[in-house]
């Protein structure tokens, strides 16, 4: 319990630091939201209206030390304000309509990558020197060194355009109404295949290598030898003795990855016109939309910290050493 309380205290400090950075960094960028909007409209807006537009959009021109306490208070009370680039839609609405799609895409690809990567890693370490061990990891690392949007575009071209097997864009067919009908769910799944695969292909190599390397270490432990000597079934030794003990680093990685899912897979989402938060985040940064940027960074920070905290708790359970130290 004391351990968890101590961790909790650490997370509170980390949270305060990160929301303060969220507040300061955007304000260090040159320009302000309205002049950004003006330069994007390229002469369509009338310069004489700039000032009132600034007031209309609620661009705060007070010095930062006056805005800061108010900002902290609003964060604590959950009021994220109104988006400037999506005025007058509240930030929570903007994030709320897009986050579920990002989570769906992110979790699907993470779960697939974790399961496939770890299984491959376990088997590769168990059968050292086999085909799986000597040829698959270099190939996956090669695949993983591609920028993932490049892979996304390649998949889109081959399976979407040339072969016509998969839909080209969006999260479900345009014109369908979201429901729990099998038609809609299978349509969502069909639209999910290519974007998720493009992320899985790139990330699976890392999972496999990490698992394989840790497991090689545990394989040489005495208790494995002991288990073998006792005549246990090899698959039981592989999963229950060796893999289980090699799991710890993977759990850490899963925790970190879960946190980052919330930020969205920007380029994958752009390539497949997937309605997630990634593009919105980029647009918010480019348009200096402070409220939206802060809202999104806050969500990401919160998710990263929460995921880490959960992993900490799981660690206590998985690894007795943590409890003692």
Partner 1 sequence: MISTRIRGRRLAGVLVAAAAATTLLLSGCTAGDAGDAGGDAASGPLLTIPREDMGTFSQNFNPFSPNAAPMTQQAIYESMIIYNPADGSTTPWLAESWEASDDGLSLTFHLRDGVKWSDGEPFSAKDVATTFGLQQKIVEGSFPYVSKVEAADDATVVFTFSEPFSPGLFEVGQQVIVPDHIWADQENPDKFENETPVGTGPYTEVSKFQAQSFELLPNPEYWQQDKQNLPGVRMLAFAGNDGANLAAINGDVDWAPQFMPDIQKTYVDRDPEHRHYWFPPTGAMINWQLNTTKPMFEDPQVRKALSLAVDREQVVKVGMSGYTEPADCSGLSGSYSTWKDESLLGSCDWIGHDPEKAGEMLDEAGFEAGADGKRTTPDGEPFAFKISVGSTSTDWLSVANIISQDLADIGVTATVDAPDWAAVTAAYEQGTFDTGIVWSDNAPTPYQYYRSLMSSETLKPVGEQTFSNYHRFSDPQADELLDRFSAASDETAQHEIVDQLQALYSEVAPVVPLFPGPEWGAYTDTRFTGWPTEDDPYATLATRSPTTVLVLTSLQPVD
Binding to partner 1 (CB under 8 A): which residues in 275-294?
A: 275, 278-280, 283, 286, 288
| Minimum distance of partner 1 from residue 156's CB (angstroms) | 8
> Cα 144–148–149 angle (5° rounding)?
160
Q: Do the beta carbons of residue 50 and residue 38 sit within 8 Å? A: yes
252: which residues sit within 8 A by CB, 6+ positions away?
Answer: 311, 315
19, 80, 120, 156: residue in contact with partner 1 (rule CB under 8 A): 156
Nearer to partner 1, 19 or 311 (CB): 311
| Minimum distance of partner 1 from residue 36's CB (angstroms) | 6
79: which residues sit within 8 A by CB, 6+ positions away?
Answer: none
Nearer to partner 1, 7 or 170 (CB): 170
- Picking from 318, 280, 271, the residue whose alpha carbon sits closest to that of residue 299 is 280
Mask of contacts with partner 1, 7-36, x by CB under 8 A?
----------------------xxx---xx
| Minimum distance of partner 1 from residue 9's CB (angstroms) | 27
Whole-angstrom distance, CA of residue 126 vs CA of residue 133: 9
**67-106 residues near partner 1, rule: CB under 8 A:** 82, 85-89, 93-94, 96-98, 100-101, 103-104
233 by Cβ neighbours in 10 Å (0-12 / 13-18 / 19+) ranks as exposed
54: which residues sit within 8 A by CB, 6+ positions away?
Answer: 32, 34, 61
Nearer to partner 1, 20 or 286 (CB): 286
- By CB under 8 A, tell whether 260 contacts partner 1: no
* Site size with partner 1, rule: CB under 8 A: 73
| Minimum distance of partner 1 from residue 27's CB (angstroms) | 13
6, 127, 128, 236: residue in contact with partner 1 (rule CB under 8 A): 236
Q: Do the beta carbons of residue 244 and residue 254 sit within 8 Å? A: no
């Amino acid at each position: 319990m004391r351990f968890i309380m101590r961790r909790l205290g650490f997370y509170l400090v980390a949270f305060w630091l990160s929301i303060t950075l969220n507040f300061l960094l955007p304000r260090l960028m040159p320009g302000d939201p309205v002049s950004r909007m003006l330069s994007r409209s390229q002469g369509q807006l009338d310069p004489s209206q700039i000032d009132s537009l600034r007031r209309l959009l609620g661009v705060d021109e007070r010095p930062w030390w006056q805005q800061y306490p108010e900002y902290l208070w609003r964060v604590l009370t959950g009021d994220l304000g109104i988006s400037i680039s999506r005025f007058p839609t509240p930030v929570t609405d903007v994030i709320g309509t897009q986050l579920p799609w990002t989570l769906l895409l992110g979790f699907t690809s993470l779960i697939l990558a974790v399961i496939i990567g770890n299984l491959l890693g376990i088997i590769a370490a168990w059968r050292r020197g086999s085909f799986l061990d000597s040829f698959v990891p270099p190939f996956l690392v090669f695949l993983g060194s591609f920028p993932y949007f490049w892979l996304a575009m390649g998949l889109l071209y081959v399976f979407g355009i040339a072969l016509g097997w998969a839909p080209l864009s969006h999260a479900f067919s345009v014109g369908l109404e979201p429901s729990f009908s099998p038609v809609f769910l299978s349509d969502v799944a069909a639209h999910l295949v290519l974007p998720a695969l493009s992320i899985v292909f790139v990330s699976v190599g890392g999972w496999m290598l990490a698992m394989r390397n840790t497991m090689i270490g545990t394989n040489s432990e005495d208790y494995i030898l002991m288990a073998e000597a006792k005549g246990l079934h090899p698959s039981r030794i592989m999963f229950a003795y060796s893999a289980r003990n090699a799991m710890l680093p993977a759990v850490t990685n899963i925790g970190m990855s879960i946190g980052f899912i919330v930020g969205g897979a920007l380029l994958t989402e752009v390539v497949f016109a997937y309605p997630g938060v990634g593009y919105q985040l980029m647009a918010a940064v480019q348009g200096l939309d402070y409220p939206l940027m802060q809202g999104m960074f806050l969500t990401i920070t919160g998710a990263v910290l929460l995921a880490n905290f959960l992993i900490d708790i799981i660690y206590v359970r998985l690894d007795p050493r943590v409890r003692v130290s």
